């Protein structure tokens, strides 16, 4: 369960769910491959892990092999807000990208929470 939560969290850190209150996808400056490091501050999740994320035309998707229900977008100002789900687990993420870096916070339905940081790789 811990590894599922760990993976969930960063299919999270940029697996953003789009909705009427969230920005529409914007292509451009944030498109590319990102490496996201997830740090757990509270809960029984692994303490540190790293995941690949892809942003294409402003739409965010998980770049790894696991199967997650994830979708979302990055606003023109770099704002990220979203959620990712697998089975009965869900993680919510908020944050912002700026240039080639980003940071934010996350929380799972299983009681884990923490911070994330990202860097653009290509």
Taking only the tens place, the pLDDT of each residue in 14-51 is 443 333 334 445 558 899 999 988 899 999 988 998 88
Instruction: Supply the mean pLDDT for the chain.
Output: 78
Closest CA to 22 of 94, 90, 120, 105: 94
- Maximum CA pair distance of the chain? 37
Its domain, for residue 95, covers 2-120
Question: Total domain count for the chain?
Answer: 1
| Residue environment code for 80-108, b if the CB has 16+ CB neighbours within 10 A, otherwise e | bbbbbbbeebbbbbebebeeeebbbebbb
pLDDT confidence of residue 50: 84
Distance, in Å, from the CA atom of 89 to the CA atom of 27, rounded to the nearest integer, reads: 30
CATH of the domain at 106: 2.40.128.120
């Amino acid at each position: 369960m811990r590894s599922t939560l760990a993976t969930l969290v960063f299919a999270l850190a940029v697996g953003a769910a789009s909705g009427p209150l969230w920005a529409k996808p914007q292509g451009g400056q944030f498109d590319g491959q990102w490496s996201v490091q997830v740090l757990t501050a509270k809960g029984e999740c692994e303490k540190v892990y790293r995941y690949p994320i892809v942003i294409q035309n402003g739409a965010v998707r998980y770049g790894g092999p696991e199967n997650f229900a994830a979708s979302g977008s990055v606003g023109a100002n770099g704002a990220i807000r979203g959620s990712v789900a697998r089975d009965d687990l869900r993680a919510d993420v908020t944050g912002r990208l700026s240039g080639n870096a980003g940071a934010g916070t996350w929380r799972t339905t299983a009681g884990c929470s923490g911070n994330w940081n990202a860097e653009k790789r290509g």
